[in-house]
Amino acid sequence: MKSFFLFFLLSGLLMAARPASEIELVKKRVLSERVEILIPKGFEVMSEQQMDFAYAKAQSRPSVMFTNNNLITLAFNYSDNEADQDMVGVYAGSFTKTYQKQFKNATWIGDGVKEINGRKVGFLEFMRPELGHEVYTLTFFTDVEGKLLIVTFNCSPQQKAEWEVVAKKIMGSLKANG
């Protein structure tokens, strides 16, 4: 019985810890065709009811969110804030200061601005405490048709080893209307 339990436990761990190279990404168009991005196969758009529950106490909620049974999320927030390519660096500096104040106990992995598919994209990457546990977060942003698009990827620290590379592939696939 003990060996069966150990076999079952190890089998489950091996299946859950598949390499990032095995996670299939599919091209999707979101936000009324404004954005093209890779999203993990099997991720579904979170329902309005799920969004209402998840963001009941939040000041704002994403425009659209993809999830795999709420364990990992990829949220798109198409804000009303004006933005253009020259403002991406300004937003990056401002967001870094704001997030560092908001998440004083966060462990910072990186931040800055990259060129992705010919566009400036700002990013913040960190581990932050939330409700008694940590969350891996990769937030990236750029301008889309004169407004600021903010995309946030979240997962647990136990999933970080598998999903960090995937999150960066998602960011690297971003194509947006100017």
| SS3 of residue 59 by DSSP | coil
At residue 28, the pLDDT reads 96
Residue 62 is classified by DSSP as -
- Asked if residue 129 is part of any domain, the answer here is yes
At residue 3, the pLDDT reads 37
- Residue 57 is part of a domain; what is its CATH number? 3.40.1000.10
At residue 108, the pLDDT reads 95
Residues β-bridged to residue 152: 75, 139
Q: List per-block mean pLDDT (blocks of 10 residues) for the chain, which spans 178 residues.
A: 34 42 90 95 90 78 86 93 97 96 93 97 93 90 97 94 95 92
- Asked if residue 40 is part of any domain, the answer here is yes
- Asked if residue 12 is part of any domain, the answer here is no
Domain that holds residue 124: 24-176
CA distance 146 to 156: 33
At residue 21, the pLDDT reads 58
Q: Per the structure, how many domains does the chain have? A: 1
- Asked if residue 47 is part of any domain, the answer here is yes
- Token representation of residue 40: 């993990």
